[in-house]
Chain A
Amino acid sequence: MLCEECGKNPATIHYTQVQNGVATQMHLCAACMAKRQKGSDTMSSLISSLLSGIAGQQEEREQQDQLRCPSCGMAYKRFRETGLLGCADCYKAFADQLAPILGRIHGRRQHVGHVPPALRARVSAEQELERLRREMDEAVAREEFEQAAKLRDQIRALTAKQEPAGAMAKEGETQHE
Protein backbone atom coordinates (compact mmCIF):
# COMPACT_ATOMS: atom_id res chain seq x y z
CA MET A 1 0.00 0.00 0.00
CA LEU A 2 1.21 3.48 -0.87
CA CYS A 3 1.30 6.48 1.40
CA GLU A 4 -2.02 8.31 1.37
CA GLU A 5 -0.30 11.68 1.60
CA CYS A 6 2.43 11.63 -1.08
CA GLY A 7 1.30 8.58 -3.01
CA LYS A 8 4.97 7.75 -3.76
CA ASN A 9 6.49 5.87 -0.86
CA PRO A 10 5.13 2.67 0.58
CA ALA A 11 2.98 3.30 3.67
CA THR A 12 4.83 1.90 6.66
CA ILE A 13 2.85 3.58 9.42
CA HIS A 14 -0.75 2.55 9.89
CA TYR A 15 -2.88 3.97 12.62
CA THR A 16 -6.37 4.95 13.58
CA GLN A 17 -7.00 8.59 14.24
CA VAL A 18 -9.90 9.31 16.53
CA GLN A 19 -11.31 12.79 16.23
CA ASN A 20 -14.59 13.77 17.88
CA GLY A 21 -15.36 10.10 18.27
CA VAL A 22 -14.89 9.33 14.57
CA ALA A 23 -12.15 6.83 13.79
CA THR A 24 -10.21 7.21 10.54
CA GLN A 25 -7.63 4.73 9.27
CA MET A 26 -4.39 6.44 8.25
CA HIS A 27 -1.67 4.91 6.09
CA LEU A 28 1.45 7.05 5.74
CA CYS A 29 5.12 6.74 4.88
CA ALA A 30 7.69 7.69 7.50
CA ALA A 31 8.49 11.04 5.87
CA CYS A 32 4.88 12.18 5.63
CA MET A 33 4.23 10.91 9.14
CA ALA A 34 7.09 13.06 10.35
CA LYS A 35 5.67 16.10 8.57
CA ARG A 36 2.42 15.65 10.43
CA GLN A 37 4.20 15.80 13.74
CA LYS A 38 5.38 18.97 15.41
CA GLY A 39 8.94 19.98 14.51
CA SER A 40 8.65 18.03 11.31
CA ASP A 41 12.25 18.58 10.23
CA THR A 42 13.89 17.10 13.30
CA MET A 43 11.41 14.22 13.31
CA SER A 44 11.95 13.26 9.71
CA SER A 45 15.71 13.40 10.07
CA LEU A 46 15.46 11.36 13.24
CA ILE A 47 13.27 8.77 11.62
CA SER A 48 15.32 8.54 8.45
CA SER A 49 18.59 8.14 10.30
CA LEU A 50 16.89 5.57 12.50
CA LEU A 51 15.73 3.68 9.46
CA SER A 52 19.14 3.82 7.81
CA GLY A 53 20.54 2.22 10.93
CA ILE A 54 23.74 4.22 10.98
CA ALA A 55 23.17 5.79 14.36
CA GLY A 56 25.22 4.55 17.30
CA GLN A 57 23.46 2.66 20.05
CA GLN A 58 23.22 5.56 22.48
CA GLU A 59 22.12 7.88 19.72
CA GLU A 60 19.65 5.30 18.49
CA ARG A 61 18.18 4.99 21.92
CA GLU A 62 17.77 8.72 22.23
CA GLN A 63 16.08 8.78 18.87
CA GLN A 64 13.84 5.89 19.83
CA ASP A 65 12.85 7.86 22.88
CA GLN A 66 11.63 10.65 20.61
CA LEU A 67 9.28 8.36 18.71
CA ARG A 68 5.67 9.14 19.37
CA CYS A 69 2.52 7.15 18.84
CA PRO A 70 0.43 9.20 16.42
CA SER A 71 -2.82 8.09 18.05
CA CYS A 72 -2.30 8.74 21.75
CA GLY A 73 0.79 10.92 21.49
CA MET A 74 2.83 8.87 23.94
CA ALA A 75 6.61 9.03 23.51
CA TYR A 76 8.61 5.80 23.39
CA LYS A 77 10.68 7.19 26.25
CA ARG A 78 7.67 6.95 28.53
CA PHE A 79 7.20 3.31 27.61
CA ARG A 80 10.84 2.64 28.41
CA GLU A 81 10.36 4.24 31.83
CA THR A 82 6.96 2.81 32.78
CA GLY A 83 6.75 -0.41 30.76
CA LEU A 84 3.22 0.60 29.77
CA LEU A 85 1.94 1.42 26.30
CA GLY A 86 -0.52 4.25 25.74
CA CYS A 87 -3.04 2.67 23.38
CA ALA A 88 -3.61 -0.20 20.96
CA ASP A 89 -1.93 1.74 18.14
CA CYS A 90 1.32 1.99 20.11
CA TYR A 91 1.85 -1.64 19.08
CA LYS A 92 2.03 -0.44 15.47
CA ALA A 93 3.85 2.83 16.11
CA PHE A 94 6.59 1.06 18.09
CA ALA A 95 6.39 -2.27 16.23
CA ASP A 96 10.12 -2.39 15.45
CA GLN A 97 11.07 -1.65 19.04
CA LEU A 98 8.50 -4.01 20.54
CA ALA A 99 9.21 -7.05 18.36
CA PRO A 100 12.45 -8.03 20.16
CA ILE A 101 10.92 -7.21 23.55
CA LEU A 102 7.89 -9.42 22.92
CA GLY A 103 10.24 -12.13 21.66
CA ARG A 104 12.27 -11.99 24.87
CA ILE A 105 9.21 -12.06 27.11
CA HIS A 106 7.16 -14.75 25.42
CA GLY A 107 9.57 -16.64 23.17
CA ARG A 108 6.81 -16.88 20.58
CA ARG A 109 5.30 -14.41 18.19
CA GLN A 110 1.95 -15.74 17.10
CA HIS A 111 -1.19 -15.62 19.20
CA VAL A 112 -2.89 -19.02 19.28
CA GLY A 113 -5.48 -18.52 21.99
CA HIS A 114 -8.96 -17.13 22.19
CA VAL A 115 -10.15 -14.95 19.30
CA PRO A 116 -12.99 -12.37 19.44
CA PRO A 117 -16.20 -14.04 18.23
CA ALA A 118 -16.58 -11.58 15.35
CA LEU A 119 -13.12 -12.45 13.96
CA ARG A 120 -13.25 -16.17 14.54
CA ALA A 121 -14.27 -17.14 11.00
CA ARG A 122 -11.48 -15.11 9.42
CA VAL A 123 -8.74 -16.07 11.89
CA SER A 124 -9.58 -19.75 11.75
CA ALA A 125 -9.52 -19.54 7.92
CA GLU A 126 -6.04 -18.05 8.20
CA GLN A 127 -4.95 -20.87 10.48
CA GLU A 128 -6.37 -23.34 7.93
CA LEU A 129 -4.44 -21.61 5.12
CA GLU A 130 -1.27 -21.81 7.17
CA ARG A 131 -1.80 -25.55 7.60
CA LEU A 132 -2.39 -26.09 3.87
CA ARG A 133 0.74 -24.10 2.98
CA ARG A 134 2.81 -26.19 5.36
CA GLU A 135 1.40 -29.40 3.90
CA MET A 136 2.07 -28.18 0.36
CA ASP A 137 5.72 -27.40 1.22
CA GLU A 138 6.08 -30.85 2.73
CA ALA A 139 4.52 -32.46 -0.35
CA VAL A 140 6.96 -30.59 -2.58
CA ALA A 141 9.85 -31.68 -0.38
CA ARG A 142 8.71 -35.29 -0.76
CA GLU A 143 8.39 -34.67 -4.53
CA GLU A 144 4.69 -35.57 -4.41
CA PHE A 145 3.79 -32.95 -7.00
CA GLU A 146 0.30 -34.18 -7.71
CA GLN A 147 -0.60 -33.84 -4.03
CA ALA A 148 1.14 -30.44 -3.91
CA ALA A 149 -0.91 -29.20 -6.86
CA LYS A 150 -4.13 -30.30 -5.14
CA LEU A 151 -3.13 -28.39 -2.04
CA ARG A 152 -2.21 -25.36 -4.13
CA ASP A 153 -5.70 -25.35 -5.68
CA GLN A 154 -7.27 -25.56 -2.23
CA ILE A 155 -5.14 -22.63 -1.09
CA ARG A 156 -6.17 -20.62 -4.14
CA ALA A 157 -9.83 -21.34 -3.57
CA LEU A 158 -9.57 -20.32 0.09
CA THR A 159 -7.60 -17.14 -0.68
CA ALA A 160 -10.08 -16.09 -3.34
CA LYS A 161 -12.93 -16.41 -0.83
CA GLN A 162 -10.99 -14.35 1.69
CA GLU A 163 -9.60 -11.68 -0.59
CA PRO A 164 -10.43 -8.37 1.14
CA ALA A 165 -9.80 -9.52 4.69
CA GLY A 166 -6.73 -11.51 3.70
CA ALA A 167 -5.11 -8.52 2.00
CA MET A 168 -5.67 -6.38 5.08
CA ALA A 169 -4.12 -8.96 7.36
CA LYS A 170 -1.02 -9.15 5.17
CA GLU A 171 -0.52 -5.41 5.43
CA GLY A 172 -0.75 -5.65 9.18
CA GLU A 173 1.69 -8.51 9.40
CA THR A 174 4.64 -6.59 8.04
CA GLN A 175 4.20 -4.19 10.91
CA HIS A 176 5.23 -6.72 13.48
CA GLU A 177 8.33 -8.14 11.90
Chain B
Amino acid sequence: MSERMADDVVLSSRVRLARNYKDIPFPSMMNDVWASETIRRTSDAVATLPDAAGYSFVRLANLSKIQRQEMVERHIISRDLLRSADVAAVLLGRENTVSIMVNEEDHIRLQVLLPGAEVEQAAQIAREVDDALETRVDYAFDDQLGYLTACPTNTGSGMRASQMLHLPALTMQHQMGAVGQAVDKLGLTIRGLYGEGSEAGGDLYQISNQVTLGRTEAELAQAVRETGNQLADMERRARKMLLVKDRAGLEDRLMRSVGVMLYARRLGEKEFMQRWSDVRLAGSLGLVQVDVQALDQLLHSAQNGSISCRAGREMNAQERDEVRAQYVRTALGAH
Protein backbone atom coordinates (compact mmCIF):
# COMPACT_ATOMS: atom_id res chain seq x y z
CA MET B 1 0.00 0.00 0.00
CA SER B 2 2.85 2.35 0.83
CA GLU B 3 4.28 1.61 -2.60
CA ARG B 4 1.12 2.41 -4.53
CA MET B 5 0.26 5.47 -2.47
CA ALA B 6 3.80 6.80 -2.29
CA ASP B 7 3.42 9.66 -4.70
CA ASP B 8 0.66 11.30 -2.62
CA VAL B 9 3.40 12.38 -0.19
CA VAL B 10 6.87 11.73 -1.59
CA LEU B 11 7.50 13.98 -4.58
CA SER B 12 11.05 13.12 -5.39
CA SER B 13 14.21 11.40 -4.22
CA ARG B 14 17.73 12.63 -4.60
CA VAL B 15 21.23 11.37 -3.96
CA ARG B 16 24.34 13.44 -4.27
CA LEU B 17 27.98 12.45 -3.91
CA ALA B 18 30.78 14.89 -3.09
CA ARG B 19 34.14 14.18 -4.71
CA ASN B 20 37.43 16.05 -5.04
CA TYR B 21 40.49 15.58 -7.16
CA LYS B 22 43.40 14.37 -5.10
CA ASP B 23 46.02 16.88 -6.28
CA ILE B 24 44.00 20.07 -6.70
CA PRO B 25 43.09 22.50 -3.90
CA PHE B 26 39.40 22.48 -2.99
CA PRO B 27 37.28 25.19 -4.68
CA SER B 28 37.54 27.70 -1.82
CA MET B 29 41.35 27.73 -2.20
CA MET B 30 41.82 27.31 -5.92
CA ASN B 31 42.62 29.76 -8.67
CA ASP B 32 41.07 30.00 -12.13
CA VAL B 33 43.72 27.74 -13.64
CA TRP B 34 42.81 24.93 -11.25
CA ALA B 35 39.13 25.64 -11.82
CA SER B 36 39.55 25.10 -15.56
CA GLU B 37 41.51 21.95 -14.84
CA THR B 38 38.71 20.40 -12.73
CA ILE B 39 36.24 21.23 -15.50
CA ARG B 40 38.51 19.73 -18.15
CA ARG B 41 39.13 16.52 -16.17
CA THR B 42 35.47 16.08 -15.36
CA SER B 43 34.22 16.61 -18.89
CA ASP B 44 36.95 14.31 -20.22
CA ALA B 45 35.91 11.60 -17.79
CA VAL B 46 32.22 12.06 -18.65
CA ALA B 47 33.14 11.78 -22.35
CA THR B 48 34.24 8.19 -21.69
CA LEU B 49 30.91 7.10 -20.18
CA PRO B 50 28.96 4.58 -22.27
CA ASP B 51 26.08 7.07 -22.51
CA ALA B 52 28.34 10.10 -22.99
CA ALA B 53 26.33 11.22 -26.01
CA GLY B 54 23.37 11.80 -23.70
CA TYR B 55 25.26 14.39 -21.65
CA SER B 56 25.26 18.10 -22.28
CA PHE B 57 27.87 20.47 -20.94
CA VAL B 58 27.01 23.92 -19.67
CA ARG B 59 29.25 26.64 -18.30
CA LEU B 60 27.29 28.81 -15.89
CA ALA B 61 29.15 31.87 -17.11
CA ASN B 62 27.41 31.40 -20.48
CA LEU B 63 23.95 31.46 -18.96
CA SER B 64 21.86 34.51 -18.13
CA LYS B 65 20.76 35.15 -14.58
CA ILE B 66 17.23 33.93 -15.29
CA GLN B 67 18.46 30.77 -17.01
CA ARG B 68 20.53 29.95 -13.93
CA GLN B 69 17.57 30.67 -11.68
CA GLU B 70 15.41 28.35 -13.76
CA MET B 71 17.92 25.49 -13.29
CA VAL B 72 17.91 26.04 -9.53
CA GLU B 73 14.10 25.90 -9.53
CA ARG B 74 14.22 22.59 -11.38
CA HIS B 75 16.75 21.36 -8.77
CA ILE B 76 19.16 20.54 -11.58
CA ILE B 77 21.80 22.71 -9.97
CA SER B 78 22.15 23.87 -6.40
CA ARG B 79 21.81 27.42 -5.19
CA ASP B 80 25.41 27.18 -3.96
CA LEU B 81 26.66 26.63 -7.49
CA LEU B 82 25.49 30.15 -8.38
CA ARG B 83 27.96 31.60 -5.89
CA SER B 84 30.85 30.31 -7.96
CA ALA B 85 29.06 30.86 -11.28
CA ASP B 86 32.16 32.41 -12.90
CA VAL B 87 34.10 29.16 -12.69
CA ALA B 88 31.30 26.60 -12.41
CA ALA B 89 30.00 24.12 -14.95
CA VAL B 90 27.41 21.36 -15.02
CA LEU B 91 27.09 18.18 -17.06
CA LEU B 92 23.54 16.92 -17.48
CA GLY B 93 22.75 13.35 -18.46
CA ARG B 94 20.09 10.66 -18.52
CA GLU B 95 17.34 13.13 -19.40
CA ASN B 96 18.44 15.56 -16.70
CA THR B 97 18.13 12.99 -13.90
CA VAL B 98 21.93 13.03 -13.50
CA SER B 99 23.71 16.31 -12.99
CA ILE B 100 27.41 16.60 -12.36
CA MET B 101 28.18 20.00 -10.89
CA VAL B 102 31.78 21.17 -11.09
CA ASN B 103 33.35 23.66 -8.68
CA GLU B 104 30.58 24.00 -6.17
CA GLU B 105 31.75 23.54 -2.55
CA ASP B 106 33.63 20.46 -3.76
CA HIS B 107 35.17 19.84 -7.18
CA ILE B 108 32.38 17.46 -8.09
CA ARG B 109 28.83 17.12 -6.87
CA LEU B 110 27.23 14.21 -8.63
CA GLN B 111 23.46 14.35 -8.26
CA VAL B 112 20.72 11.92 -9.22
CA LEU B 113 17.14 13.15 -8.98
CA LEU B 114 14.16 10.82 -9.50
CA PRO B 115 10.43 11.38 -9.05
CA GLY B 116 8.68 9.50 -6.23
CA ALA B 117 10.09 7.43 -3.37
CA GLU B 118 13.09 6.02 -5.24
CA VAL B 119 16.02 6.95 -3.04
CA GLU B 120 17.67 3.53 -3.31
CA GLN B 121 17.32 3.53 -7.08
CA ALA B 122 18.88 7.01 -7.14
CA ALA B 123 21.77 5.74 -4.97
CA GLN B 124 22.27 2.86 -7.39
CA ILE B 125 22.48 5.17 -10.41
CA ALA B 126 24.82 7.54 -8.56
CA ARG B 127 27.07 4.61 -7.75
CA GLU B 128 27.16 3.45 -11.37
CA VAL B 129 28.10 6.86 -12.70
CA ASP B 130 30.59 7.43 -9.87
CA ASP B 131 32.26 4.07 -10.47
CA ALA B 132 32.51 4.68 -14.19
CA LEU B 133 34.05 8.12 -13.69
CA GLU B 134 36.41 6.87 -11.04
CA THR B 135 38.14 4.47 -13.39
CA ARG B 136 39.38 7.63 -15.15
CA VAL B 137 40.27 9.96 -12.28
CA ASP B 138 41.93 9.95 -8.85
CA TYR B 139 39.83 11.32 -6.03
CA ALA B 140 41.03 12.46 -2.61
CA PHE B 141 40.47 9.37 -0.45
CA ASP B 142 41.77 8.25 2.92
CA ASP B 143 41.53 4.67 4.20
CA GLN B 144 40.17 5.83 7.52
CA LEU B 145 38.19 8.94 6.59
CA GLY B 146 36.93 7.86 3.18
CA TYR B 147 36.31 10.51 0.55
CA LEU B 148 37.79 13.83 1.65
CA THR B 149 35.48 16.79 1.19
CA ALA B 150 35.79 20.54 1.65
CA CYS B 151 33.45 20.43 4.64
CA PRO B 152 34.07 17.73 7.27
CA THR B 153 30.30 17.17 7.50
CA ASN B 154 30.45 15.35 4.14
CA THR B 155 33.57 13.30 4.74
CA GLY B 156 33.31 9.53 4.42
CA SER B 157 30.81 8.43 1.83
CA GLY B 158 30.33 12.03 0.67
CA MET B 159 26.72 11.02 0.19
CA ARG B 160 23.62 13.01 0.97
CA ALA B 161 20.40 11.10 0.26
CA SER B 162 17.12 12.93 0.47
CA GLN B 163 13.43 12.83 -0.23
CA MET B 164 11.08 15.72 -0.82
CA LEU B 165 7.82 15.30 1.07
CA HIS B 166 4.52 17.12 0.90
CA LEU B 167 3.26 17.35 4.50
CA PRO B 168 0.30 19.77 4.54
CA ALA B 169 -1.80 17.94 7.14
CA LEU B 170 1.07 17.60 9.62
CA THR B 171 1.83 21.30 9.08
CA MET B 172 -1.82 22.31 9.61
CA GLN B 173 -1.91 20.31 12.82
CA HIS B 174 1.28 22.01 14.02
CA GLN B 175 3.10 18.72 14.29
CA MET B 176 6.22 19.67 12.36
CA GLY B 177 8.15 20.47 15.55
CA ALA B 178 7.57 16.96 16.87
CA VAL B 179 8.33 15.50 13.44
CA GLY B 180 11.62 17.41 13.40
CA GLN B 181 12.64 15.96 16.76
CA ALA B 182 11.74 12.42 15.71
CA VAL B 183 13.69 12.77 12.47
CA ASP B 184 16.69 14.16 14.35
CA LYS B 185 16.69 11.13 16.67
CA LEU B 186 16.98 8.87 13.64
CA GLY B 187 20.13 10.70 12.53
CA LEU B 188 18.37 12.61 9.78
CA THR B 189 17.56 16.26 9.25
CA ILE B 190 14.47 17.93 7.88
CA ARG B 191 14.33 21.31 6.21
CA GLY B 192 12.40 23.48 3.77
CA LEU B 193 12.11 23.06 0.03
CA TYR B 194 15.29 24.65 -1.24
CA GLY B 195 17.72 23.20 1.26
CA GLU B 196 19.44 24.67 4.26
CA GLY B 197 17.89 27.70 5.89
CA SER B 198 14.92 28.04 3.57
CA GLU B 199 11.32 28.28 4.69
CA ALA B 200 9.00 25.41 3.98
CA GLY B 201 6.97 26.97 1.16
CA GLY B 202 4.11 24.83 -0.13
CA ASP B 203 4.35 22.57 2.95
CA LEU B 204 7.29 20.89 1.26
CA TYR B 205 10.08 19.42 3.33
CA GLN B 206 13.27 17.63 2.57
CA ILE B 207 14.62 14.86 4.77
CA SER B 208 18.24 13.84 4.43
CA ASN B 209 20.98 11.98 6.27
CA GLN B 210 23.04 14.01 8.72
CA VAL B 211 26.14 11.85 9.01
CA THR B 212 28.29 10.51 6.21
CA LEU B 213 31.20 8.78 7.97
CA GLY B 214 30.98 5.25 9.30
CA ARG B 215 27.81 4.25 7.43
CA THR B 216 27.56 2.53 4.10
CA GLU B 217 25.74 4.18 1.22
CA ALA B 218 23.11 1.45 1.42
CA GLU B 219 22.50 2.14 5.12
CA LEU B 220 22.11 5.86 4.45
CA ALA B 221 19.67 5.38 1.57
CA GLN B 222 17.69 2.86 3.60
CA ALA B 223 17.42 5.22 6.58
CA VAL B 224 16.05 7.96 4.34
CA ARG B 225 13.59 5.61 2.65
CA GLU B 226 12.33 4.20 5.95
CA THR B 227 11.99 7.60 7.57
CA GLY B 228 10.26 8.91 4.44
CA ASN B 229 7.79 6.01 4.60
CA GLN B 230 7.10 6.66 8.27
CA LEU B 231 6.48 10.35 7.72
CA ALA B 232 4.27 9.54 4.74
CA ASP B 233 2.16 7.24 6.95
CA MET B 234 1.97 9.93 9.65
CA GLU B 235 0.88 12.46 7.04
CA ARG B 236 -1.84 10.13 5.73
CA ARG B 237 -3.17 9.60 9.23
CA ALA B 238 -3.14 13.36 9.83
CA ARG B 239 -5.12 13.87 6.60
CA LYS B 240 -7.75 11.41 7.78
CA MET B 241 -7.90 13.17 11.13
CA LEU B 242 -8.52 16.51 9.46
CA LEU B 243 -11.39 15.01 7.48
CA VAL B 244 -12.92 13.48 10.59
CA LYS B 245 -12.62 16.67 12.61
CA ASP B 246 -14.10 19.12 10.12
CA ARG B 247 -14.60 17.76 6.65
CA ALA B 248 -16.60 20.72 5.38
CA GLY B 249 -14.08 23.19 6.76
CA LEU B 250 -11.17 21.42 5.10
CA GLU B 251 -13.00 20.96 1.80
CA ASP B 252 -14.00 24.62 1.82
CA ARG B 253 -10.45 25.76 2.30
CA LEU B 254 -8.99 23.45 -0.32
CA MET B 255 -11.70 24.10 -2.92
CA ARG B 256 -11.26 27.86 -2.56
CA SER B 257 -7.65 27.35 -3.51
CA VAL B 258 -8.72 25.20 -6.46
CA GLY B 259 -10.92 28.10 -7.55
CA VAL B 260 -8.05 30.58 -7.27
CA MET B 261 -5.67 28.37 -9.23
CA LEU B 262 -8.25 27.84 -11.99
CA TYR B 263 -9.52 31.41 -12.31
CA ALA B 264 -7.13 33.95 -10.81
CA ARG B 265 -5.69 36.57 -13.17
CA ARG B 266 -2.68 37.43 -11.05
CA LEU B 267 -0.78 34.98 -8.88
CA GLY B 268 2.21 35.94 -6.75
CA GLU B 269 4.85 33.29 -6.14
CA LYS B 270 4.14 32.99 -2.43
CA GLU B 271 0.39 32.67 -2.92
CA PHE B 272 0.99 30.20 -5.72
CA MET B 273 2.97 27.96 -3.38
CA GLN B 274 0.21 28.00 -0.75
CA ARG B 275 -2.54 27.31 -3.28
CA TRP B 276 -0.45 24.65 -4.93
CA SER B 277 -0.20 22.80 -1.62
CA ASP B 278 -3.98 22.97 -1.13
CA VAL B 279 -4.71 21.76 -4.64
CA ARG B 280 -2.32 18.87 -4.33
CA LEU B 281 -3.96 17.85 -1.05
CA ALA B 282 -7.42 18.23 -2.63
CA GLY B 283 -6.28 15.98 -5.47
CA SER B 284 -4.86 13.36 -3.09
CA LEU B 285 -8.10 13.31 -1.10
CA GLY B 286 -10.10 12.87 -4.30
CA LEU B 287 -11.96 16.18 -3.94
CA VAL B 288 -10.94 17.22 -7.45
CA GLN B 289 -9.66 15.44 -10.50
CA VAL B 290 -6.16 16.73 -10.99
CA ASP B 291 -3.16 15.45 -12.89
CA VAL B 292 -0.64 15.16 -10.07
CA GLN B 293 2.29 14.97 -12.48
CA ALA B 294 1.25 18.21 -14.16
CA LEU B 295 0.83 19.77 -10.75
CA ASP B 296 4.30 18.68 -9.63
CA GLN B 297 5.71 20.03 -12.87
CA LEU B 298 4.18 23.41 -12.00
CA LEU B 299 6.16 23.44 -8.79
CA HIS B 300 9.20 24.58 -10.69
CA SER B 301 7.77 25.70 -14.02
CA ALA B 302 5.52 28.31 -12.38
CA GLN B 303 8.28 29.91 -10.36
CA ASN B 304 9.80 33.30 -11.14
CA GLY B 305 12.96 32.14 -12.90
CA SER B 306 11.16 29.60 -15.08
CA ILE B 307 8.50 32.09 -16.13
CA SER B 308 11.04 34.75 -17.08
CA CYS B 309 13.14 32.11 -18.81
CA ARG B 310 10.25 30.99 -21.04
CA ALA B 311 9.44 34.61 -21.81
CA GLY B 312 13.09 35.13 -22.64
CA ARG B 313 13.32 38.36 -20.71
CA GLU B 314 13.11 39.92 -17.25
CA MET B 315 9.61 41.02 -16.31
CA ASN B 316 8.24 43.28 -13.61
CA ALA B 317 6.46 41.57 -10.75
CA GLN B 318 2.93 42.39 -11.89
CA GLU B 319 3.50 41.17 -15.41
CA ARG B 320 5.10 38.00 -14.09
CA ASP B 321 2.17 37.30 -11.78
CA GLU B 322 -0.21 37.65 -14.73
CA VAL B 323 1.84 35.27 -16.86
CA ARG B 324 2.01 32.83 -13.95
CA ALA B 325 -1.76 32.91 -13.45
CA GLN B 326 -2.35 32.21 -17.10
CA TYR B 327 0.26 29.48 -17.19
CA VAL B 328 -1.27 27.76 -14.17
CA ARG B 329 -4.78 28.00 -15.66
CA THR B 330 -3.61 26.39 -18.88
CA ALA B 331 -1.65 23.64 -17.11
CA LEU B 332 -4.70 22.75 -15.02
CA GLY B 333 -6.96 22.74 -18.05
CA ALA B 334 -9.00 25.90 -17.29
CA HIS B 335 -9.42 28.97 -19.50
Residues in chain A within 8 A of chain B (CB atoms): 16, 18, 23, 71-74, 82-88, 91, 98, 101-102, 105-119, 123, 126, 169, 172-173, 176
- Binding stretch for chain A, among B2-10, B143-151, B232-240, B256-264: B143-151
Which residues of chain A have C-beta atoms less than 8 A from B24's C-beta?
Answer: 87
The answer to whether A85 touches B152 (Cβ under 8 A) is yes
13 residue pairs from A and B, CB less than 8 Å apart: A72-B26, A85-B148, A85-B151, A85-B152, A86-B25, A88-B22, A91-B142, A105-B211, A108-B211, A108-B215, A113-B159, A113-B217, A176-B142
Q: Which of B69-77, B130-138, B198-206 is the contact stretch?
A: B130-138
CB-CB nearest 4 A-B residue pairs: A108-B214, A111-B146, A88-B140, A86-B29
Binding site for A on B (CB under 8 A): 20, 22-26, 28-29, 105, 127, 130-131, 134-135, 138-148, 150-153, 155-157, 159, 211-217
Q: A110-B214, A111-B143 are in contact. Are A91 and B148 (CB under 8 A)?
A: yes
Per the bound structure, the CA–CA distance linking A113 and B123 in Å amounts to 12
Q: Which label, helix, strand, loop or mixed, suits the secondary structure of the B interface? A: loop
Q: Contact: B211 with A107, CB < 8 Å?
A: yes
5 more CB-based (< 8 A) A-B contacts, given A83-B152, A106-B156, A106-B212: A108-B213, A108-B215, A109-B144, A114-B157, A116-B138
Q: Are A172 and B142 in contact (CB under 8 A)?
A: yes
Residues of chain B lying within 8 A (CB to CB) of residue A83:
151-153
Q: Chain B nearest CB: distance from A161 CB in Å?
A: 17
In the complex, what's the smallest C-beta–C-beta distance from A69 to chain B, in angstroms?
9
CB-based contact A106/B142 at 8 Å: no
* Closest chain A residue, CB of each to CB of B135: A117
Q: Knowing A111-B156, A112-B216 touch, does A72 contact B143 (C-beta < 8 A)? A: no
Q: How far is the CA of A109 from the CA of B155 in the complex (A)?
A: 10
Cross-chain contact A111 with B157 (CB below 8 angstroms): yes
| In the complex with contacts A105-B153, A169-B143, A85-B26 CB distance below 8 A | yes
* CB <8 Å contact, A113 and B151: no
Nearest residue in A to B156 (C-beta to C-beta)? A111
Query: In the complex, how many angstroms separate the beta carbon of A60 from the nearest chain B beta carbon?
Result: 20
